Chains A and B, each alone.
Chain A
Amino acid sequence: DTAVSQTPKYLVTQMGNDKSIKCEQNLGHDTMYWYKQDSKKFLKIMFSYNNKELIINETVPNRFSPKSPDKAHLNLHINSLELGDSAVYFCASSRLGDIPRSYTFGSGTRLTVV
């Protein structure tokens, strides 16, 4: 009955590989997000997406791409992985109209690029 679930929890891969992280929410939320948390704990937004609009943080390399097969899922694809991509990636969701419109976070995916 997890609200926002991410898989895998840990991912170790070599430079240059392509990988995906999956995210699913069962809260009926209409907007989903991907955040990157670096080693200094800084949470930085990468994407936000609802069924009408994809907003991309302009600092995100185009090697990163979100894919949403439906409202409950927002997967993150990463091509040509680099050492600097190592971080914890959090998926989150929210609902427009909720007060407060706070986010529910998944448990995170720790990506290590070697």
Chain B
Amino acid sequence: QKEVEQNSGPLSVPEGAIASLNCTYSDRGSQSFFWYRQYSGKSPELIMFIYSNGDKEDGRFTAQLNKASQYVSLLIRDSQPSDSATYLCAVKRGYGGSQGNLIFGKGTKLSVKP
């Protein structure tokens, strides 16, 4: 079982719709969860992080975490064409040694159609 799994997509949504991106992870002891956005040919940039079960909102972005189900998601409201990118889910298992390294999923490619 892969450590962090995402649907590779592409996920296509119309402009103004809600885009829902999902991620599951295998290590039940994982501590912190991140969403990175990567435009084609660019480096990943952090857009959201979450530690606790529940929802966390930041502007048009909402991260949701359910540790019991080992599931984390990202919702993008009022999707814009500029949101078109690959979204990478990343998990950190702990704080020291290799546990502190970010483990990435393969990413979901999002396409927002005008």
Contacts and interface: CB of A to CB of B under 8 A. Distances in A.
A106 interface: yes
B106 A105 contact: no
Contacts of A100: 32, 34, 46, 49, 51
A10 B80 CA distance: 31
Contact of A42 (B32, B51, B102, B104): B104
A43 B42 CA distance: 13
Contacts of B103: 45
Nearest to B99: A55
Interface residues of A, number: 22
Max chain B Cβ within 10 angstroms of own Cβ: one of A102, A106, A108: A102
Interface string B21-59: 000000000001010001000111110010100000000
Given A53-B97, A101-B92, A105-B44, A45 B102 contact: yes
Given A100-B32, A100-B34, A105 B49 contact: no
B43 A41 contact: no
9 contacts: A31-B100, A41-B38, A41-B106, A42-B106, A90-B43, A96-B100, A105-B44, A107-B43, A108-B42
Interface of B: 8, 32, 34, 38, 42-46, 49, 51, 86, 88, 92, 95, 97-98, 100-104, 106-107, 109
Interface of A: 31, 33, 35, 40-45, 48, 53, 55, 90, 96, 100-103, 105-108
